[in-house]
Amino acid sequence: MSESIIGQKSFQFALEIIDLYSRLQEKREYVISKQLLRSGTSIGANVEEASGGQSTKDFLAKMYIAYKEARETKYWLRLMQKSQLVTIDVSNELQDADEIVRILSSIIKTTEEKLSKVRS
């Protein structure tokens, strides 16, 4: 079975974040870069956990965590961009984070709808 779109995108995004983290370290930016690394790589880890969930509720809980981590990652990227702490363009990463947030939001909404139909 092939990996899900969100699984692929979140893994690729984690690789981008790791690369960005390395570039930020070279510029001696240590605080926000560490926060960004944690939240940006956590998205894919939670998506991976969700795909092995024991139940639909477990799947949904992990996807919510991935969604929250993606939103946090967007926050750190926006903060980095607006503060001009370093002169690294993060617009591509912001765009990718936004896409991941939208996909996760859609997955959560669809899963919640399926759960509510099962309950009724």
Which residue type occupies 119?
Answer: R
Task: Name the residue among 52, 48, 47 with its Cα closest to residue 67.
Answer: 47
pLDDT-flagged residues of the chain (< 50): 1
| Helical pair 5-26 and 31-51, crossing angle rounded to 10 deg | 160
Task: Give the count of domains, the chain.
Answer: 1
What's the CATH code of the domain at 100?
1.20.1440.60
**pLDDT (tens digit, 9 = 90+) per residue, 61-77?**
999 999 999 999 999 99
For residue 1, the model assigns a pLDDT of 40
Does the global pTM surpass 0.85?
yes
Map tokens 């759960």 to a residue.
115
Are the C-beta atoms of 39 and 73 separated by less than 8 Å?
Answer: yes
CA distance 72 to 1: 31
Q: Which domain range does residue 114 map to?
A: 5-119
- pLDDT of 120: 66
